Amino acid sequence: MEKRKTQFRMPAAFTVLILLTIVVAIITQFIPAITPAKVSDVVMAPIDGFASALGVSLFVLVLGGFLGVVMKTGSLNAGITAVVKKLNGKETWMIPILMFLISVGGTTYGMFEETIAFYALVTSTMVAAGFDPLIAASTILLGSTAGTLGATVNPFSVSASVDALNSVGIESNQTIIILAGCVSWIVCYLIGAVFVVRYANKVKADRKASLLTEDEWASVEKEYSGDKQPDASADFTLRQKVVLVLFGISFVVIIVGMIPWNSFDIHLFDHTSFLTGVNLGDWYFSELTAWFLVMAIVIGLVYGLKEREIVNSFLGGAGDLIGVALVIAVSRGVSVIMSSTGLDMYILEKAFGALQGTSSLLFTGVSYIVYLLLSVLIPSSSGLATVSMPIMGPLAQNLGLVPEIMVCVLSGSCALINCISPTSGTLMGAISICRVEFSTWVRYIWKPLAAMLVVHIVILSIGMVVL
């Protein structure tokens, strides 16, 4: 590849997050209404963040170990080679298909953090097909964002918001939420799919069209090329096919395990707690972690790896994702220091106060912008719903507007912010796996996110008037 002109490099993700923590601590010194952060708060923020993110961080490490065992069998590379050969020039079809499937998970059960399991596999596939890792990252992230933005029955944003509205005497019409969510989901999915496919076609035609810097390409080639690149001449053995079937089952089970079946009055999995002690449908990161640990052992044994080979490949795979786990943990530290000083609630109160005098015509757009800011401070959609909906619902109702649309506003703002904010541990972990720097990601992703933002505000503004 031709040498590119050296570009300015943003600091590493760890540096950005530490600097952000320090900036937040400095801000607290000038607001009398909150508790000013001490030096010890800044020092302990990454450690406390690790404690807060322990579940997802451990999941990432065990996932890395699971992938390490699978890679040791050579099955994944052989399978990717077979897929790329089968597509034979139609590789871009993978993008809208994968994006749609992920978006379905987003709209139904809020699949976002769980997508961390897919980045290494999708990046390997995309690089083998001649694309760059930005395409892999955006296929997953924009797919998830479109789905969670257009949440229909997502328990983390929709159900939590409905419960919060009920707590202040507002009965929600779920049909309105589902209708507005479906329209938002499909439209924003199409925006994301068109953007990624167009970029993918440019990179496929000319690798120099990629936004990756020279250093990023070097990192990508080190991680996803060489001996890790699928060998086009390798045989795809029966044992490897069996391993890939088990590999696929592993991911199907985690999806089934995360969908809240009981909330849909579906009881097919009421007696599936024999493995983790928790039924499928009630799983979270502890159960997902245990499942991948079990499947790593099963796959190693089925393929015929020796005990030491299983252990060493597992440890090697986990080691590859240590940096990712730490980035996720440190990003949580920013939220920890905002919460411990009261900065998040202070900004929350000021934002709601500013909305009091807003005209009904501008209310949807202004409240959306306010929620974007609040979503940085409180990355948890369920947490934000609990503290904000008892205020925002009645406020919308008093203006003669539809309080159910505020549920969609919250879902959209949380989804968009999590796709670009450095306080989003999943985002920072995902682009670390893809070997993409945060500055490159922002430069690439801001256009589709801006388009989704504008379109979603328009859809919800219409909904406020019509519904």
Residue 150, helix vs strand vs coil:
coil
Q: Which of 244, 5, 223, 250 is nearest to 127 (CA)?
A: 223
Are 460 and 409 contacting, i.e. CB atoms less than 8 angstroms apart? yes
The Cα 442–Cα 446 span in angstroms is 6
CA dihedral 188, 194, 197, 200 (to 10 degrees): -90
Q: Name, in order, each residue with C-beta under 8 angstroms of 245's C-beta and a sequence gap of 6 or more.
A: none
Most confidently modeled range among 89-93, 274-278, 454-458 = 454-458
Q: Which of 46, 38, 40 is nearest to 19 (CA)?
A: 46
pLDDT in tens, 375-414: 887 777 877 887 788 888 888 888 888 899 999 999 999 9
As a three-state string, the secondary structure of 284-351 is CHHHHHHHHHHHHHHHHHHHCCCHHHHHHHHHHHHHHCHHHHHHHHHHHHHHHHHHHHCHHHHHHHHH
Tell me the average pLDDT across 83-110.
Answer: 82
Q: Quick check: pTM over 0.85?
A: no
- Cα distances from 406 to residues 159, 185, 353, 363, 397, in angstroms, run 13, 16, 16, 10, 10
CA 218 to chain centre: 25
Confidence of residue 69 (pLDDT cuts 50, 70, 90): very high
Confidence of residue 233 (pLDDT cuts 50, 70, 90): low
Looking at the predicted structure, is the pLDDT value of residue 415 above 90? yes
Q: Which of 337, 370, 365 is nearest to 353 (CA)?
A: 370
Structure confidence at residue 291 (pLDDT): 92
Q: Name, in order, each residue with C-beta under 8 angstroms of 357's C-beta and a sequence gap of 6 or more.
A: none
pLDDT in tens, 254-304: 778 877 787 777 888 888 889 889 898 888 778 888 999 999 999 999 999
pLDDT in tens, 186-218: 999 999 999 999 999 999 999 899 999 989 999
Q: Which of 147, 135, 132 is nearest to 196 (CA)?
A: 135
**DSSP code string of 238-291:** HHHHHHHHHHHHHHHHHHHHHS-GGGGT--TTTT-TTTTSS-TTS--HHHHHHH
Average predicted confidence (pLDDT) for the chain: 85
